[in-house]
Amino acid sequence: MKNFLATKVPKDTQMKIDILLAEMIVMDNLPLTVLPRDGFWRIFSFIAPTYNIPSYEKIRDTIIPSIYARTAVVVKTVLKSCDVVTIMLDLWSSNSMVGFMGVSCSSVTADYVPFTCFLNMKEMPSNHTAEAILSESECVVSDWELNGKVVVFIKWVLFRPVLFAGPISSGPISTGPISPPIGVRRSVVDTKVLLDSVGFKIPMMNLTRWNSQFLMVKHFLNGIDIDTALQSKLNACKAHGSLSSLQLKCLKEFVTLLEPFKIATDVFQKDTETIGLVIPFYLDLVNQCSLDPRVNQEAKFITSCKCMAEELSRIRAGPKN
């Protein structure tokens, strides 16, 4: 064993280990970022210290594609022995709002052996309309030489949460009715429009964190500041209507009033000592909610949301005896 470890790994052995390593990543669905991790390097340095772990790029761009090519030949051979197949389409979007369509195949071979495989995953940057889905699925069917064998298409759609700037209704924070409510959906198409137009995406709303919705609204307003025609480009606004100038003003005042609360929330969620910050933050929130321009320089911009500012001031002061 010592003699083996002391000698350089032969080239053919190096290639075999490279392939086994890539197959492990694929079969166990591991991220390629496992390669540079310390624990991964430690075990290989102990087992085979002279083995050169391939780079991230070599695994991704060379080894895995070669494994895919060999596997595809085997899969096509099996599919040729199948008289009919069922195609399953899985439409979904990643957390970064990139749309994909996964294509799986299920059948029985001529020897009556059940056979299931994952054929392809294609990016779907357009709307998930019937025409777009059919076009993409037909390309996959043709690539895998399944023309005339497909008997059933099953479509699965995984929905993502909806993010919206609103609805905003008339009430204590406005000086008049605000309508219609508009929704900015967290769709693949609208996300791409936002990224192309303003260079960032609206963050996902987290129901357990109030400031996630605050950040959503703030990002939306920042996007409109960068591109004044942004609303006219979004499908959600075309379907539900765009925000009026009064609605935008109310939202900007809403962000101004709640920004200090968001900062305080971030600070007090940290693991560091925070008890000494309670009084300074409390006094700052008192000042930030004040409508007196001598205390709060932002007070002069608060006109539509005066009732909201007064209510926040009443809450922080506590009930009167």
Q: How confident is the model at residue 321 (pLDDT cuts 50, 70, 90)?
A: very low
CA-based nearest residue to 202, from 106, 187, 31, 210: 187
Number of helices (H) and strands (E) in the chain: give both, helices first: 13, 4
List the structure tokens of 164.
């919206």
Report the SS3 class of residue 15: helix
Q: Are 246 and 178 in contact (CB under 8 A)?
A: yes
Give the global pTM: 0.46
Average per-residue pLDDT for the chain: 76
- Angle formed at CA 92 by CA 166 and CA 143, multiple of 5 degrees: 145
Supply the DSSP symbol for 138.
H
pLDDT of the residue at 178: 38
Higher pLDDT, 175 or 11: 11
Question: Tell me: the pLDDT tens digits for 129-163?
Answer: 777 888 888 888 888 888 888 876 666 544 333 33
What sign does the CA torsion over 125, 130, 131, 133 have?
A: positive
pLDDT for the residue 66: 92
Choice between 270 and 164, residue whose per-residue pLDDT is larger? 270
Report CA 275 to chain centroid distance, whole Å. 35
Using pLDDT thresholds of 50, 70 and 90, give the confidence band for residue 63. Answer: very high
Q: Give the residue among 221, 218, 222, 163 at the shortest CA–CA distance from 187.
A: 163
- Binning pLDDT at 50, 70 and 90, where does residue 208 land? low
Asked whether the predicted pLDDT for residue 205 surpasses 70, the reply is no
Q: Is the bond into 180 cis (omega within 30 degrees of 0)? A: yes
